[in-house]
Chain A
């Protein structure tokens, strides 16, 4: 089947398959008016417009449309692999002469039938890039070796594995190859000695090069980076490298251990490839986190999942946050936004925050067009797309309506993460009083949601800021990643606290 026949052009234009040429022309005209870059300056609009225009190129021409219909008929219908469900925080909005906020909850769910099927292991093309700088000496490096050993044991000849260790230079300890002689591979891991400084760029470059050797749609191609240090001066080059890797199909997950590492940098590194970033406080947790990461890679159904959110011209996309798995703020630019992987048995959820314009017009209106594409590994299907066009009703006197619980639940936790972020912004502006107040607010809310330990940390840091105008590195990271991790806990009552 040609790639064109695989796309559902009717869905893209939003017309039924039996639409007349006039219907199609009208649908195109409306869609073009919504998303033409001259009319809509939102980042995702151009992407949608290109999609719509290319669909119209075929369907708008009756001969090409006939050929397309024929090809789809002979090919038969394609099974669905995943679905996109969008729930707005309100279905009916009131007319207002000021802007208002609307949240959308996106659920990208693997289809039930697929999850019931016997799970087929997806082979991994995995590269571990491990920090062996001097500060890793002792228990950190020991635990890292244990984790690497366990990962080697969990892989098979179907998988490809490479291991790069780095300090101020990089060494390829295990060149990318099928995992056959596990004893020899384990021996290679043991060669790691702690020495030297931390320069992530070289390690990452060597790692991505190894991963490239077996780069294929058949595999989940992924680099896992673990570091305990701060890299100096090579951040930008490393980010450039990561962007390039993302374009080729290599995902990157980053893990920071201890207090020194540069969280903003690792966040940026992971989010531009759709990977994840995690903060590990204790060396023992490294083993669990690394294993968990590799296990979830093996559960991949869809790789290179990408999301495009195109609001209507008068609506502003304010933020995008991935709620689960691996909660993380996402950059809304450039679009489409890489979301990484979709696992067999886990729904991926995002929360979108939009600002609606003031206005008096009532009735139904379109809000945004959202699409998700990805490569389905089990079917070797590239760029499978699902699409959703969201509308709400505007009324002068809307009936009271409870926002859906999952939105409330997620937003409640997300707000905590944002307050922590705001406290840091106040500090950067040099406003210690504001930062203190925000940290105190955070502590209050954390206590109310049963997070006593984090609340305690917020109180200590609030006092510290009040007297010294500084946050401790540990406190800052614990609060940042602690509030972020709340999102992956479905129940606010943490059993440990």
Chain B
């Protein structure tokens, strides 16, 4: 059971909005707030709502599209993809180097986050970065994996990009 923080009603596990007062439970509100931008584009597709699947085929590729960048990056599939920025003072180079997108000014850490490939999902894990990683507007708890969906928005520091699955 979950107790609603607003009206103290007992709700069953799995309920997303309190059945008595309609308040969204923790987490739900944040997801909805950031969804509106995405939804606006989708409304134009004759009202058909579309969202990403969380199912990730092991053979599929991951495409990263940094906001305002001209070309998206297609990543070679591997079990762990480290996102960060290269630095002349450090020998470590991440798998996806955000340095060309002004990563340093936008507060991206050298080893910022990692995309890990599971059986048929991808998860995103913040590597304890200085300025944090946000998934669809929600800040990740460092070192705690979250499932990625096709089309998700990721923000590292102030750098925003989208993840797409490519079969």
Cα-based distance from A415 to B24 in the complex (angstroms): 10
Cβ-neighbour of A98 out of B13, B39, B51 (below 8 A)? B13
B42 to A: closest C-beta gap in Å:
7
The reply to whether A356 and B14 contact each other, CB–CB distance below 8 Å, is: yes
A418 interfacial by beta-carbon distance below 8 Å: yes
The reply to whether A490 and B47 contact each other, CB–CB distance below 8 Å, is: yes
Of B28-36, B84-92, B103-111, the one with at least 4 CB within 8 A of chain A: B28-36
B145 interfacial by beta-carbon distance below 8 Å: yes
Q: Which of A102, A409, A438 has the most CB of B within 10 A?
A: A409
A355 interfacial by beta-carbon distance below 8 Å: yes
The reply to whether B13 and A400 contact each other, CB–CB distance below 8 Å, is: no
Of B15-23, B70-78, B158-166, the one with at least 4 CB within 8 A of chain A: B15-23
Q: Residues of A contacting B32 with CB < 8 Å? A: 405, 408-409, 412
Q: Residues of B contacting A441 with CB < 8 Å? A: 7, 20-22
Q: Residues of B contacting A415 with CB < 8 Å? A: 17-19, 22
The reply to whether B23 and A445 contact each other, CB–CB distance below 8 Å, is: yes
Q: Which of B7, B22, B54 has the most CB of A within 10 A?
A: B22
B136 interfacial by beta-carbon distance below 8 Å: yes
Q: Residues of A contacting B35 with CB < 8 Å? A: 405, 408-409
A150 interfacial by beta-carbon distance below 8 Å: no
B79 interfacial by beta-carbon distance below 8 Å: no
Report B31-87 residues with CB < 8 Å from chain A CB: 31-32, 35-36, 38-40, 42-43, 46-49, 51, 54
Q: Residues of A contacting B12 with CB < 8 Å? A: 98-101, 355
- A408 and B22 in contact, given A346-B46, A356-B14, A401-B147 (Cβ under 8 angstroms): no
- A412 and B24 in contact, given A98-B1, A356-B14, A399-B145 (Cβ under 8 angstroms): yes
B144 interfacial by beta-carbon distance below 8 Å: yes
Q: How many A-B residue pairs have CB under 8 A?
A: 117
A155 to B: closest C-beta gap in Å:
25
- A101 and B123 in contact, given A399-B146, A402-B27, A490-B43 (Cβ under 8 angstroms): no
- A91 and B13 in contact, given A408-B32, A490-B42 (Cβ under 8 angstroms): no
Cα-based distance from A102 to B23 in the complex (angstroms): 18
Q: Residues of A contacting B117 with CB < 8 Å? A: none
The reply to whether B144 and A405 contact each other, CB–CB distance below 8 Å, is: no
Mark A243-287 against chain B: 1 for CB-CB distance below 8 A, else 0.
Answer: 000000000000000000000000000000000000000000000
A interface, by DSSP: helix, strand, loop or mixed? mixed
Cα-based distance from A361 to B15 in the complex (angstroms): 21
The reply to whether B48 and A347 contact each other, CB–CB distance below 8 Å, is: yes
Cα-based distance from A102 to B13 in the complex (angstroms): 9
Q: Residues of A contacting B49 with CB < 8 Å? A: 347, 349, 405-406, 409, 490
A404 interfacial by beta-carbon distance below 8 Å: yes
B149 interfacial by beta-carbon distance below 8 Å: yes
The reply to whether B16 and A411 contact each other, CB–CB distance below 8 Å, is: yes
Q: Residues of B contacting A291 with CB < 8 Å? A: none
Q: Residues of A contacting B21 with CB < 8 Å? A: 419, 441, 444-445
Cα-based distance from A418 to B16 in the complex (angstroms): 14
- A399 and B16 in contact, given A419-B21, A441-B7 (Cβ under 8 angstroms): no
The reply to whether B40 and A101 contact each other, CB–CB distance below 8 Å, is: no
A345 interfacial by beta-carbon distance below 8 Å: yes
Q: Residues of B contacting A221 with CB < 8 Å? A: none
Cα-based distance from A100 to B28 in the complex (angstroms): 17
B14 to A: closest C-beta gap in Å:
4
The reply to whether B47 and A346 contact each other, CB–CB distance below 8 Å, is: yes
Cβ-neighbour of B14 out of A101, A345, A491 (below 8 A)? A101
The reply to whether A89 and B14 contact each other, CB–CB distance below 8 Å, is: yes
Q: Residues of A contacting B13 with CB < 8 Å? A: 94, 96, 98-101
Beta-carbon nearest neighbor of B123 in chain A: A399
The reply to whether A89 and B146 contact each other, CB–CB distance below 8 Å, is: no
A363 interfacial by beta-carbon distance below 8 Å: no
Mark A439-476 against chain B: 1 for CB-CB distance below 8 A, else 0.
Answer: 00110110000000000000000000000000000000
B binding-site residues for A, Cβ under 8 Å: 1, 7, 12-24, 27-28, 31-32, 35-36, 38-40, 42-43, 46-49, 51, 54, 123, 135-136, 138, 144-147, 149
7 examples of A-B residue contacts, CB within 8 angstroms? A94-B13, A100-B12, A101-B15, A349-B49, A400-B147, A415-B17, A445-B22
A binding-site residues for B, Cβ under 8 Å: 89-91, 93-94, 96, 98-103, 109, 324, 345-347, 349, 355-356, 399-409, 411-412, 415-416, 418-419, 422, 438, 441-442, 444-445, 490-493
**Besides the known contacts A100-B14, A422-B20, A444-B22, 9 further A-B residue pairs in the complex with CB atoms under 8 A apart:** A101-B15, A103-B14, A346-B47, A402-B27, A403-B16, A407-B16, A408-B16, A412-B24, A418-B19
